[in-house]
C-alpha cells in the first residue's frame, strides 16, 4: 500500500498535488501488509525526514478512542531510503496477525460473534536522534475479518451429485409420453373425425393419470 504524508498538514493525502485527506486505510486480519510511505514537502515534492543513521519511525494501531491501551498492530522496523535518493520511500511491513487484534475482533468465539470488520485508529511517528517526535494526524483504519484461514478443508460433494447436462436432456426426453407426442403430431383438426378426437383426448387423459397429474 502506497501512502503519502503532507509534511505541512501532517495528514495522509491522496498523492502529490492532491491534498485531500484520505478517509481510511483498509487491511485484512491475519495478513501481512507492506506500506510504502512518501513524505511530501508542500504536498508535492518527496522529501527526506532526517538522517537515516539517527531516524526512528513507528507505525501503530489502537482501538478507536483508547489512547491509554496497548497496540493491536505495531512496527518500528522500517527500511529507510538511501541518503540523497531523489524520491525517498520509507517502507515497513506491519503484521495483522496478532493475538491482540484477534481478541478485539472476537476471533474463534464459540458463540459465532466474530466481527466482520473493526474500525480502529492509527498514527505514524518519527524522531531524529534525541529530538522531539513528529506524528501524523490520527487516521482511521478498518480491518476486515479474513475468509480463507487455511483450516477449512475441502467442501464435501453433495449426494447425489448434480447430473451432467447431457443426462438432464435425456431424462427430460424420456419423461414425455411417446404415444401422446406421436398422436398429437398426426392429429389434423381439419380432417379429424369424432373418433380421432376421442382417441387424442383418451391418450391425453391416460398420460396425465400416469403422471399423477389428475
Predicted structure pTM score: 0.71
| Sole residue written with cell 491509554 | 68
Nearest CA-CA partner of 172 in 161, 164, 183 = 164
| pLDDT by residue, tens only, the chain of 214 residues | 999 999 999 999 999 999 999 989 999 999 999 999 999 999 999 999 999 999 999 999 999 999 999 999 999 999 999 988 999 999 999 999 999 999 999 998 877 789 999 999 999 999 999 899 999 999 999 999 999 888 888 888 887 766 666 655 444 444 545 566 666 667 777 777 887 778 778 877 777 777 666 6
Beta-strand pair 117-128/134-135: antiparallel
Residue 31: half-sphere exposure toward Cβ, Cα within 13 Å: 14
Cα separation of the two ends of the chain: 67
Domains of the chain (ranges, CATH numbers) = 2-144 (2.60.40), 165-210 (no CATH)
Amino acid at each position: 500500500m502506497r501512502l503519502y504524508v503532507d509534511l505541512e498538514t501532517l495528514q495522509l493525502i491522496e498523492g502529490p498535488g492532491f491534498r485531500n485527506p484520505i478517509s481510511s486505510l483498509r487491511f485484512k486480519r491475519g495478513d501481512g501488509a507492506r506500506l510504502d510511505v512518501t513524505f511530501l514537502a508542500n504536498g508535492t515534492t518527496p522529501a527526506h525526514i532526517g538522517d537515516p543513521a539517527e531516524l526512528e519511525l513507528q507505525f501503530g494501531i489502537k482501538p478507536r478512542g483508547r489512547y491509554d491501551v496497548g497496540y493491536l498492530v505495531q512496527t518500528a522496523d522500517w527500511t529507510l531510503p538511501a541518503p540523497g535518493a531523489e524520491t525517498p520511500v520509507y517502507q515497513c511491513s506491519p503484521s495483522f496477525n496478532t493475538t491482540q487484534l484477534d481478541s478485539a475482533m472476537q476471533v474463534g468465539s464459540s458463540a459465532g460473534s466474530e466481527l466482520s470488520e473493526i474500525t480502529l485508529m492509527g498514527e505514524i511517528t518519527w524522531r531524529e536522534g534525541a529530538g522531539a517526535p513528529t506524528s501524523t494526524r490520527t487516521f482511521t483504519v478498518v480491518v476486515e475479518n479474513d475468509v480463507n484461514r487455511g483450516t477449512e478443508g475441502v467442501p464435501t460433494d453433495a449426494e447425489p451429485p448434480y447430473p451432467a447436462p447431457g443426462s438432464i436432456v435425456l431424462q427430460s426426453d424420456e419423461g414425455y409420453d411417446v404415444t401422446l407426442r406421436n398422436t398429437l403430431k398426426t392429429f389434423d383438426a381439419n380432417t379429424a373425425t369424432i373418433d380421432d378426437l376421442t382417441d387424442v383426448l383418451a391418450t391425453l387423459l391416460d398420460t396425465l393419470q400416469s403422471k399423477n397429474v389428475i
